[in-house]
Structure 1
């Protein structure tokens, strides 16, 4: 196991009322490419923020034998990178400057040749080094996603947390991004946890899937063929669907209708 979460409790206050997201949630993530699935409100984003140490929760989250809550902010930042659901349309920073920002903990009073080399090598590994001098606000949505991923990679983290990275991307870019994440896991020996809505993308690319119900409770986890079933889709997502296998034994979900009457 790579990440172990035991008895996680978290609530937030809205309109003077306390809303519980997690109640003694216990779950784990494996080495490699992990995906969190679940309907809106299941707590996928909250779980990523908890792992990154952004929330005050009760319970224990461990990376290997390290308890994350006992680490300093600098130690957490050196260990992992977190990419939330953001889009900086108006930024006038260049792509190279944006990637260098990812190295802030290591940067001194000035950017060194080593810093520039590391940033450019990261851009080259993603095949976007030709964009180095372009402004962020001039890029397409897909290009921006790659720049932000380059930023997270620039510090050589051991774990990358991504919240809905395929949002706003067309189908081709979604597939290319997931293929890229697969390559990063192998070539960089980095572990990844991604929150996704697209069940078919998760089925095709994830090595380990965790499914949460809409009330933030654990439903199941494992390989896609074990987790993505017609029963799960009915009980967790509230839909009637067919699940078939392609030639690679990857589950394919074909939704039919909601179980609710409209």
Structure 2
């Protein structure tokens, strides 16, 4: 296992957000975290990335206890794409190159430059390399932030609603890139998702959160009308359309 979460609990003041969260993720897997707003999805990602400190439990990445890692050591293991990002007066190239910071000892190397160009090409951002990030659309900026995380060469990639602000074409492209990179680089990607159909199309496993607990964890077999009703309070049917499972609300 590349990621092990065992007994994690987290509270904001007296309000418990996460309760006894347990799951494991293998290398190369894409795992979607599902649940209603306020279920603790983003909080869970922030605990894995040490932005928030759990009250209880342990989180291991590549057998390292993250509590014993400093920020630079953790950044070599984990890439993080937050839910919201803002542009500034840095070029796209320099913003993506910043993802190499944990690996740079004295100065930027040829390999750092080469990796940055490769990731820009991967996300079809080559033509944007010299533009300032505050000139980009929300969708373009989102792809830049994903590129910055990928250039870190992480073992675990955490993405909080990565298709936010993206049109349909870019949603599919970004999710396909995440899936392909996870497989080709043998890294684990954990994604907070609201779109059940995108999650079904590109994910290997699913964590369904309800009231701070893991309601269900597993493969596509757990994405059932019964579980969706229990977690989201919505009646659905699941149909097969040209080989893809599609969730359709019926009320």
Q: Name the TM-score, length of structure 1 as normaliser.
A: 0.89
Q: Which runs of 5 or more residues in structure 2 are unaligned?
A: none
- CA-based RMSD of the aligned residues comes to 1.7
C-alpha distance in 1, partners of 2:44/2:68? 18
C-alpha distance in 2, partners of 1:203/1:123? 27
Task: Classify the secondary structure of the residue corresponding to 2:227.
Answer: helix
C-alpha distance in 2, partners of 1:129/1:179? 18
C-alpha distance in 1, partners of 2:105/2:64? 28
Q: What's 1:97 paired with?
A: 94
Give the alignment of 1:183-262 within 5 angstroms. Answer: 183-213=180-210, 215-224=211-220, 226-248=221-243, 250-257=244-251
Alpha carbons of structure 1 residues 191 and 25: separation in structure 2 relative to 1, 3 Å: closer
Q: What's 1:7 paired with?
A: 7
Give the alignment of 1:62-73 within 5 angstroms. Answer: 62-73=60-71
C-alpha distance in 2, partners of 1:98/1:39? 32
Deviation at 1:109?
A: 5.4
Q: Which runs of 5 or more residues in structure 1 are unaligned?
A: 258-262
Runs of 4+ in 1 over 6 A off after TM superposition: none
Give the alignment of 1:1-262 within 5 angstroms. Answer: 1-13=1-13, 18-31=14-27, 32-57=29-54, 58-89=56-87, 91-108=88-105, 110-213=107-210, 215-224=211-220, 226-248=221-243, 250-257=244-251
Deviation at 1:5?
A: 1.4
**Equivalent residues of 1:30, 1:208 under 8 A apart:** no
Deviation at 1:54?
A: 1.7
C-alpha distance in 1, partners of 2:24/2:209? 12
C-alpha distance in 1, partners of 2:95/2:223? 37
